[in-house]
Amino acid sequence: MKPVAVFQHTEVGAPGAVLPTLEALGREGEAECASAGSGCGRRSCTMRAERYDLPLRIVVEEPVRGLTLALQQGSAGKATLLPPARASSSAVTFELEVTVDGSLPDGRPRLLGALVQGPPDARFVYLAVGKRAGQVESPWDGRVKVPLGGLGRDHIEQLPPGGRLVARIAGQSSKGAPALASVRLLPPGWSAQ
């Protein structure tokens, strides 16, 4: 049996109507419009997914040479460390998915998942650095908070089929040490690729 995604029907041109369809998010299965409780029964209307996985990519540019970085899954005491998808001397890339489950009161997507940390209105993911990433001999021990709060519906609307939203952060501080604690995304912030 194929999974069925439940979408909220919106008329074309209505506020919020230009949101990803099941196909645009690269999901298999069937879509069912859940408008007015029983659904309109159309598969061609513009539909808003109430809950779906959102693919992200975080690129750490110019990391400290030889430093181990890992993505933290779960809370600190019970965390699992996930390795990067790709690593070179010029960049370390993490690919992940977060769950969008409806919206916050201000209209931004409500983000959930084992990788998501922080309060609902200030979500982020942690990258473990040095000793926290399992590199015992490292002189550095810390985490980087990569903000998710800048992710808006406008970013999701721009996501092409099979694409990811991508953000870049600096891998080093201005003094040449690893970037730690809260960081800012490099311009342009989140973008669809």
Model confidence over 116-152: pLDDT tens digits? 999 999 999 999 999 999 999 999 999 999 999 899 9
Q: Are strands 109-112 and 51-61 parallel, antiparallel or unpaired?
A: unpaired
More confident residue, 103 or 40: 103
Q: Would you kindly state where each structural domain of the chain is located, as residue ranges? A: 1-49, 51-192
Scanning the structure block, which residue is given the tokens 């473990």? 128
The most distant pair of C-alpha atoms in the chain lies apart, rounded to whole Å, by 60
Q: How far apart are CA 185 and CA 193, in angstroms?
A: 16
Residue 75: its pLDDT value, please?
A: 87
Mind listing the pLDDT tens digit for each residue in 4-61? Answer: 344 444 443 444 433 444 444 444 444 444 443 444 554 444 444 579 999 999 999 9
C-alpha span between 142 and 127 (Å, rounded) = 9
CB burial of 100-115 (b: ≥16 within 10 Å; e: otherwise) equals: beeeeeeebbbbebeb
CA angle centred on 90, ends 154 and 178, rounded to 5°: 85
The whole model's pTM is what? Answer: 0.76
With beta carbons less than 8 A apart as the criterion, state whether 163 and 193 touch: yes
pLDDT tens-digit series, residues 142-178:
999 999 989 999 999 889 999 999 999 999 999 999 9
